[in-house]
Amino acid sequence: AQTVTQSQPEMSVQEAETVTLSCTYDTSENNYYLFWYKQPPSRQMILVIRQEAYKQQNATENRFSVNFQKAAKSFSLKISDSQLGDTAMYFCAFMKHPHNNAGNMLTFGGGTRLMVKP
Protein backbone atom coordinates (compact mmCIF):
# COMPACT_ATOMS: atom_id res chain seq x y z
CA ALA A 1 0.00 0.00 0.00
CA GLN A 2 1.05 3.53 -0.66
CA THR A 3 1.15 6.35 1.86
CA VAL A 4 1.44 10.08 1.28
CA THR A 5 2.54 12.48 4.01
CA GLN A 6 2.24 16.24 4.09
CA SER A 7 4.05 17.40 7.21
CA GLN A 8 2.92 21.04 7.13
CA PRO A 9 -0.73 21.36 8.20
CA GLU A 10 -0.72 25.12 7.70
CA MET A 11 1.50 27.66 5.98
CA SER A 12 1.33 31.34 5.17
CA VAL A 13 3.12 33.55 2.66
CA GLN A 14 3.09 37.19 1.73
CA GLU A 15 1.61 38.13 -1.61
CA ALA A 16 4.23 38.09 -4.43
CA GLU A 17 6.62 35.88 -2.46
CA THR A 18 7.53 32.24 -3.03
CA VAL A 19 6.40 29.31 -0.91
CA THR A 20 7.22 25.60 -0.99
CA LEU A 21 4.87 22.88 0.18
CA SER A 22 6.36 19.52 1.15
CA CYS A 23 5.18 16.03 0.31
CA THR A 24 6.76 12.64 0.87
CA TYR A 25 5.41 9.27 -0.14
CA ASP A 26 6.16 5.63 0.40
CA THR A 27 5.79 3.01 -2.31
CA SER A 28 7.43 -0.08 -3.70
CA GLU A 29 6.23 0.78 -7.21
CA ASN A 30 8.66 2.00 -9.83
CA ASN A 31 6.14 3.37 -12.31
CA TYR A 32 3.71 5.93 -10.94
CA TYR A 33 2.37 9.47 -11.12
CA LEU A 34 2.26 12.30 -8.63
CA PHE A 35 -0.17 15.18 -8.50
CA TRP A 36 -0.88 18.36 -6.62
CA TYR A 37 -4.52 19.38 -6.25
CA LYS A 38 -5.82 22.69 -4.99
CA GLN A 39 -9.05 23.00 -3.03
CA PRO A 40 -10.20 26.60 -2.54
CA PRO A 41 -13.02 27.53 -0.15
CA SER A 42 -15.49 26.63 -2.89
CA ARG A 43 -14.50 23.01 -2.18
CA GLN A 44 -13.83 22.23 -5.83
CA MET A 45 -10.79 19.99 -6.39
CA ILE A 46 -8.57 21.52 -9.07
CA LEU A 47 -5.57 19.80 -10.62
CA VAL A 48 -2.51 22.02 -10.34
CA ILE A 49 0.32 19.91 -11.71
CA ARG A 50 1.30 16.32 -12.50
CA GLN A 51 4.60 14.46 -12.66
CA GLU A 52 5.40 11.10 -14.24
CA ALA A 53 7.92 9.14 -12.20
CA TYR A 54 9.87 8.07 -15.29
CA LYS A 55 10.56 11.68 -16.22
CA GLN A 56 13.61 13.26 -14.64
CA GLN A 57 12.60 16.77 -15.64
CA ASN A 58 10.53 18.57 -13.05
CA ALA A 59 7.08 19.62 -14.20
CA THR A 60 6.15 23.30 -14.39
CA GLU A 61 2.83 25.05 -14.97
CA ASN A 62 3.17 28.82 -15.06
CA ARG A 63 3.87 29.91 -11.45
CA PHE A 64 3.75 26.35 -10.15
CA SER A 65 6.68 23.96 -10.27
CA VAL A 66 7.70 20.79 -8.50
CA ASN A 67 10.91 19.38 -7.12
CA PHE A 68 10.68 15.64 -7.69
CA GLN A 69 13.32 13.56 -5.94
CA LYS A 70 12.53 9.94 -6.79
CA ALA A 71 15.22 8.34 -4.65
CA ALA A 72 14.18 10.37 -1.64
CA LYS A 73 10.45 9.86 -2.45
CA SER A 74 9.88 13.56 -2.18
CA PHE A 75 7.57 15.74 -4.27
CA SER A 76 7.41 19.39 -3.22
CA LEU A 77 5.36 22.16 -4.82
CA LYS A 78 6.79 25.64 -5.31
CA ILE A 79 4.44 28.54 -5.88
CA SER A 80 6.16 31.65 -7.21
CA ASP A 81 4.75 35.18 -7.09
CA SER A 82 1.99 34.07 -4.72
CA GLN A 83 -1.43 35.59 -5.33
CA LEU A 84 -4.41 36.00 -3.04
CA GLY A 85 -6.28 33.48 -5.18
CA ASP A 86 -3.72 30.83 -4.25
CA THR A 87 -5.24 30.69 -0.76
CA ALA A 88 -6.52 27.11 -0.50
CA MET A 89 -5.92 23.61 0.77
CA TYR A 90 -3.29 21.80 -1.26
CA PHE A 91 -3.24 18.04 -1.54
CA CYS A 92 -0.43 15.86 -2.75
CA ALA A 93 -1.60 12.62 -4.38
CA PHE A 94 -0.03 9.40 -5.63
CA MET A 95 -1.25 7.13 -8.41
CA LYS A 96 0.43 3.88 -9.35
CA HIS A 97 0.50 2.91 -12.99
CA PRO A 98 -2.80 1.13 -13.65
CA HIS A 99 -2.88 -2.51 -14.67
CA ASN A 100 -5.67 -4.30 -16.57
CA ASN A 101 -9.05 -2.90 -15.52
CA ALA A 102 -7.71 -1.20 -12.44
CA GLY A 103 -8.72 2.39 -12.27
CA ASN A 104 -6.43 5.30 -11.66
CA MET A 105 -6.87 5.32 -7.90
CA LEU A 106 -5.42 8.23 -6.03
CA THR A 107 -3.90 8.12 -2.55
CA PHE A 108 -3.98 11.56 -0.95
CA GLY A 109 -1.96 13.24 1.74
CA GLY A 110 -3.70 15.01 4.60
CA GLY A 111 -3.34 18.43 3.00
CA THR A 112 -1.64 21.75 3.70
CA ARG A 113 -3.71 24.86 4.28
CA LEU A 114 -2.02 27.81 2.56
CA MET A 115 -2.90 31.39 3.39
CA VAL A 116 -1.62 34.15 1.13
CA LYS A 117 -1.49 37.46 3.00
CA PRO A 118 -1.81 40.86 1.33
- Residues forming contacts to another protein in the complex (CB under 8 A) are 4, 33, 35, 43-45, 47, 50, 52, 91, 93, 95, 98, 101-111
CA 21 to chain centre: 8
DSSP sequence for 59-82? PEETTEEEEEETTTTEEEEEE-S-
> Whose Cβ is closer to another protein: residue 26's or residue 81's?
26
How far apart are CB 33 and another protein at their closest, in Å? 7
How far apart are CB 18 and another protein at their closest, in Å? 24
Cα angle 82, 36, 89 (rounded to 5 degrees) comes to: 60
How far apart are CB 73 and another protein at their closest, in Å? 17
